[in-house]
Amino acid sequence: MTLDFDEGDELRALRAAVADLGSRYGQSYFLEQARSGGSTDALWREAGKAGFLGVNLPEEYGGGGGMVELSLVCEELGAAGCGLLMMVVSPAICGTVIARFGTEEQKQRWLPGLADGSSIMAFAITEPDAGSNSHEITTTARRDGDEWVLTGRKTWISGVDLADAVLVVGRLADGPKGTLRPALFVVPTDAPGLTAQPIPMEIVSPERQFSVFLDDVRLPADALVGSPESGIAQLFAGLNPERVMAAAFSLGVARLAMRKATDYARERTVWGTPIGAHQGLAHPLAACQIEIELARLMTQKAAWLIDRGRDAEAGLAANSAKYAAAEAAARTVDQAVQTHGGAGLAQEYGVGALLVASRLSRIAPVSREMILSFVAQHDLKLPRSY
């Protein structure tokens, strides 16, 4: 079998179509919505109508591609300056979990809407006292007759104000503490007992973060997705795509910053010479470009493995892609600001607005340190450090 690094005509056409859509909105639209308290609903709806949002979902429910295609859409929108964070959550995490483990009724109920963007689903796993240690999740679900009763608290949950429902990761009340046996529930955002409180953020984005409180939320029996007996597999079926989409999001940020930096370096002239001719600027930008291309290759590999159901390999690749893309984004944005000098912090150029987003990429949805621990343990076979 030979390796083929040619994306092919279909993927190139998809890239071009998404890039065209993104260019009609762009960073100015995104920042205006963020700073005015607005939303990117118009872009979301148009992307949904074009079939971009849920391209990873099964064709019979409105999709027709895979994670390769969805990550490409995310990257191109980000490179245009209007990345949609909820793409990481709604179709990639929640859509994937329901498509793989949901009942036919659940698939019919949710997947067509997630595919065309008419429905949005948030995802809730992180807790204040558990952080990245999912084994310490305390959100519990207990049976009460034919219903589930869900109690707990989640934090850093994206887009609850936009969502119709939240896919909540909890544990069964009779399960042993300290052992991860996750149970996943679809919780409507208007369910009695569910409340959400926004978290003030420094990041310039119209998509907000929330703390979510679940106070004896009653759910029907069919709110449970899949089986707790295979909860680990279900959970990582969503988390691996999350890593890939986070990588694609970071790639978009990095490419946007690189475009701004190189445009400025070609146009800005000092003493009759474009500043891009100076190796003190050219070499760091070239090094960042190499990092971007390496991260893109790893992201494509991870998406390819997910699409082929090679979950064990996909886990390592997805974590590596997320790490590489986050590092590339952080360094590229930093160099883009340096290339602009003082102008890099002026709103006119839109570079400074990328600083917090690029720094966040090293933290969420999983920190670089947790990825390094994962790779050390699973790839290098080193003793577990925690």
At what angle are helices 231-267 and 279-307 packed, to 10 degrees?
150
Three-state DSSP at 122 gives strand
Catalytic-labelled residue, pool 242, 267, 291, 293: 242
225: amino acid identity, one letter: V
Q: For residues 220 and 309, is the Cβ–Cβ distance under 8 A?
A: no
Q: For residues 166 and 155, is the Cβ–Cβ distance under 8 A?
A: no
User: Catalytic annotation on 127?
Assistant: no
Helices (H), the chain: 8-23, 26-36, 41-49, 67-79, 86-87, 96-101, 104-116, 231-267, 279-307, 311-340, 354-360, 368-378
At what angle are helices 41-49 and 104-116 packed, to 10 degrees?
110
Three-state DSSP at 348 gives helix
Cis peptide, bond prior to residue 206, ω within 30 of zero: no
Q: What is the CA radius of gyration of the chain?
A: 21
Q: For residues 165 and 196, is the Cβ–Cβ distance under 8 A?
A: no
User: Whole-angstrom Cα distance, residue 94 to residue 81?
Assistant: 25
Q: Name which of 111, 19, 131, 121 is nearest 72 in CA terms.
A: 19
Three-state DSSP at 105 gives helix
Active site amino acids: 242
